[in-house]
Structure 1
């Protein structure tokens, strides 16, 4: 049994630095001491974790498994430190994790309503979509606002709202088009719009095969790009709420696609043990009118 957590921190530092000597400098202990800690750790686990090579270290299969466990331990410690720092206040902040799109658009408008409804201070954290559920399950957040429904027996997931996605252009090109006309245009693509392919495949369109001028990380970057680049005629799929003002002042132009209306759902998730907290949060649901 591992009772001395310093061995775990030493192991993780070696993996991070890919070197025993660099880890010893970071930790402020001698290299023989680092080596001895890993030797004792391997004896406890009865497994070889690390193999030294000329250009650094590599993890064995057991080492890889142990490292994944260490990451879970580290995340639990982060949450422990968060909560213990608020122990004098008797009330920890409500930690909400979400994507950049939700975090930069909706959340700033609703901070007071969420705080008053939950009767707590708020700590809003921006994460990659794929990290939201793992952070929630590791208890690094209390609530996650996600763009994909997650099916997990340990979670409660409820729909928060839907929003419309529209095709827009940087110049006035057409009021409406057929789905197959999409192949004529150059798109500024959002790397995260993988779900569009599932929609368009029903109409015989492969979204991945559409011509792309640029591929960017998310909707906010795409919005900025299409508003500021005019070398060619560009189109892009964007959340309508994100560009409504630009449609009104004709800096961008909506192109309707015959027979197709694109919507995406936003969900809120929490561990089952936090069902009351989730239901409290959902009282703000009517504030999302998009």
Structure 2
């Protein structure tokens, strides 16, 4: 890793808790590979102080971007002046960037990353029946991406039924009647069941649903990235069910982050593209280093 200088551009990933995030392990090597004087750090942002943390970071002149994890993805929309279509459809964001004019732009890559991971692992969701447990920030993004990916049926389950109804209302224009409120999965006809809740971050968390009650061959997917082998996935594997790990959702977002934040070395030079740059790494056209 190159030395961090006084000219470094800063990125932060916000969560509560935050010790489980893997984004620094994946993105900091990208900065090094491109020769960028930049670093991504984890920031523990307690729910009660999220606004203070975010506004403080946004007022720091050398902070160019924020990544967002549980439980802040829905609320983080409030800290951006411009929202992408994915954010409006999902109702949440997991990435914000500072634009050249100082405004903040919110995007959401959770859903596209999750679907890309499923496809790469041999579980394409098109034409499949999917049960999604959790309609929060990540769940909303995944629901939107699954609908756009052409699922035959999507059942959404959450203890907060009002949150499910809000999500269904947002998706109704695109879903064509393919999305409905479901019940906890148990021996139903789902081809894929997804845990999009935080249950599994801690060793003593209860299971979000009972894998032993699922039909043989049902793919059990988790979006928890650390621990890699959650209790849910261990239990599902013990029952002979195929499992899909949470890390795939993040690893398939890496190129999207590179494009979103304009992380490119200037062609034809061995010098870091940002060596003489003291402003944000990003621009609205996302080509700051082309």
The higher radius of gyration belongs to 1
Q: TM-score, normalised by structure 1?
A: 0.36
Larger relative contact order (Cα-Cα within 8 Å, sequence gap ≥ 6): 1
Higher helix share: 1
Normalising by structure 2, we get a TM-score of 0.36
